[in-house]
Structure 1
Amino acid sequence: MANLGARTNGISSNQVEIPIHANGVESKPSEESNIDYSQRAQWLRAAVLGANDGLVSVASLMMGVGGVKKDISAMLVAGFAGLVAGACSMAIGEFVSVYTQYDIEVTQLKREREANNNGESESLREKLPNPFQAAMASALAFSVGALVPMLAAVFIRNHKIRMGVIGGAVSLALLVFGGIGAVLGNTPVKKSCFRVLIGGWMAMAITFGLTKLAAFAEL
C-alpha cells in the first residue's frame, strides 16, 4: 500500500500536469486595432492643417493690428480679410497639391495595367486622393479656426481685455484642435496639444512684436 501510495503520489506529482486550452476563446483583435488610420490621412491632414492655420494666422494678424491700433473695427476688418484670403489660398493650394498627387498615382496605375497581360493592376492602393475633398476640407477648417479670434473680440470694447480674451480663446482652441487631430489620427494627445499650443504662441508673439517694432520705426 505504501508503494501504491508512492506510485500514486508520483503520478499525481509528475504526470497530472495537463495543459488546458480554452477552446473557442481565442483573443480577437478589437475593432480599433483593425482601423487603418492611414486612410484618414488625406482629409485629416487637410482639416487639421486648415483649422490650425486659420486659427493661428488670423489671431496673429489681429494681435499684430491690435498692437498698434486700439480700434476694434481695424482688428475685425483685418481678421475678416485674413479669413477670406486664407480660406481661398488654402483651398487653391490644397487642390493643386493633391491634384498633382492624383495625376502621379493615376499615371502609375496605368503603367501597372500596361505591364500586365490581363490588363489588371496589382496596385495595393484602395483609393486615389480626392482634390476637391481636400480643398473643401481645408477651406472649411480654415474658416472655422479663423472665426475663433473674431468671435472672441467682437463683443469686447476694452482694448487690453480684448487682447487677453483673444489670447485665451486661441490657446484653448489650439488645445482642442490638437487633441482632436491626435484622437482621429491615434497619436499621443499630450504631445500633439503641446506642440500646437507652443507653435501658436510663438506665431502670435512674433507677429505682435514685429508689428510693434515696425510701427515704432515709422515714428
Structure 2
Amino acid sequence: MAADARPPTHPGEPHGSGLASRLNWLRAGVLGANDGIVSVAAVVVGVAGATSDLSPILVAGVAALVGGAISMGLGEYVSVSSQRDTQRALIAKERAELESLPDEELEELTALYEGKGLSRETAARVASELTSHDALTAHLEAELGINEADVVSPWQAAGASALAFFIGAALPMLAILLPPAELRVPVTFVAVLVALSLTGVVSARLGDSHWLRPTVRIVIGGAIALAVTFLIGMLLDTSGVV
C-alpha cells in the first residue's frame, strides 16, 4: 500500500480520531434535553394540578429550568473531569514506560497481539512496525483501548448538557404557558411525549440500535412522571395544603 493510501471504509461506519469525543458531547446533549423535558414538565404540570394561576407555574418553571441547567452542566463537568484525569494519568504512565523500558514494552505489545491469535513471528512484526510508526498510540490502543485524540473534554460535555437541558426545558414551559387554562395540561402532555419520542429515536441512532424499545421506555417513563406529579398537585389542592 502506498504511503499516502488510506484504508477502505464502508458507508455508515464511523472512522477517524476524535470519534469518542464527538459522541460524548452528542450523547450528553441528548440526555440533557431529555432531562430538561421531563423534569421541568413534571414541575409545571404538578403546579398546574394544584392551581390554574399562571404566576406560580411560571416561577416554578423558570426556577426548575435555570437550576436544572446549572446542575446538569456542573454534574457533567465533574463526571467527565474525573474520566479525563484518569485517561491523562494512564497516557502519562504509558509514555514514561516507553521511555524507560522500551524493550519490555515492545515485548508486551507482541504478547498482546499473540493473545489475539497472531503467530509469534507476525505479532513481533506488527508490534515492531506499529512501535516505529507511533509507539504511544499503538500501546494505548492495544493495552488500554484509548486514543489521545479521544480524551474527553469536560467543558464540551458540560456545555452541551446544560444547553440541551435548557432547550429541552423550554418546550414544556411554552406548552404550559401559551394555551388557555383548560388546555394547558393536555397540550403539555402531548408536546412532552412527542419530544420524548424524538429524543428516544435520536438516542437509539447514536447508539446504533433499533429505535422502538428505547423510545417506548422513555415515553412511558415520561408519561408516568407527568401523571404522578399532576395527581400530587391535585391532591395537595383538594386537601387544602396549598
TM range (shorter): 0.7 to 0.9
CA distance in 1, matches of 2:52, 2:198: 29
1:191 aligns with 2:208: no
Output the amino acid matched with 1:123: L
What's the counterpart of residue 104 of structure 1? 86
1:147 aligns with 2:170: yes
SS for the counterpart of 2:180 is coil
SS for the counterpart of 1:116 is helix
CA distance in 2, matches of 1:74, 1:169: 21
What's the counterpart of residue 13 of structure 2? 33
Counterparts in 2 of 1:163-182, with a 5 A limit?
163-182=185-204
1:153-192 per-residue CA deviation (whole Å, 9 max, x = no partner) reads: 222222x311100001111111111112222332211112
Cα RMSD, aligned residues only: 2.2
> How far off its partner does 1:136 sit?
0.4
Q: 2:140 aligns with which of 112, 115, 123?
A: 123
Contact 1:44–1:181 at 8 Å: present in 2 too? no
Counterparts in 2 of 1:11-30, with a 5 A limit?
30=10
Output the amino acid matched with 2:235: L
CA distance in 2, matches of 1:149, 1:128: 35
From the superposition, tell whether residues 217 and 82 of structure 1 become closer, same or farther in structure 2 (CA, over 3 Å): same
1:85 aligns with 2:67: yes
Counting aligned pairs with the same residue, the percent is 40
CA distance in 2, matches of 1:111, 1:95: 24
TM-score in terms of structure 1 length: 0.79
CA distance in 1, matches of 2:47, 2:25: 32
What's the counterpart of residue 58 of structure 2? 76
| Unaligned ranges ≥5, structure 2 | 1-7, 103-134
What's the counterpart of residue 126 of structure 2? none
From the superposition, tell whether residues 113 and 29 of structure 1 become closer, same or farther in structure 2 (CA, over 3 Å): closer
Greater length-normalized contact order (CA 8 Å, ≥ 6 residues apart): 2
Output the amino acid matched with 1:75: I
The number of residue pairs the alignment matches comes to 191
CA distance in 1, matches of 2:55, 2:75: 30
CA distance in 1, matches of 2:228, 2:85: 38
Deviates more, 1:34-43 or 1:60-69: 34-43
Give 1 or 2 for the bigger CA radius of gyration: 1
> How far off its partner does 1:208 sit?
2.0
SS for the counterpart of 1:208 is helix
From the superposition, tell whether residues 79 and 156 of structure 1 become closer, same or farther in structure 2 (CA, over 3 Å): same
1:50-100 per-residue CA deviation (whole Å, 9 max, x = no partner) reads: 000000000000010001011122212211111100000001110011001
Contact 2:49–2:232 at 8 Å: present in 1 too? no
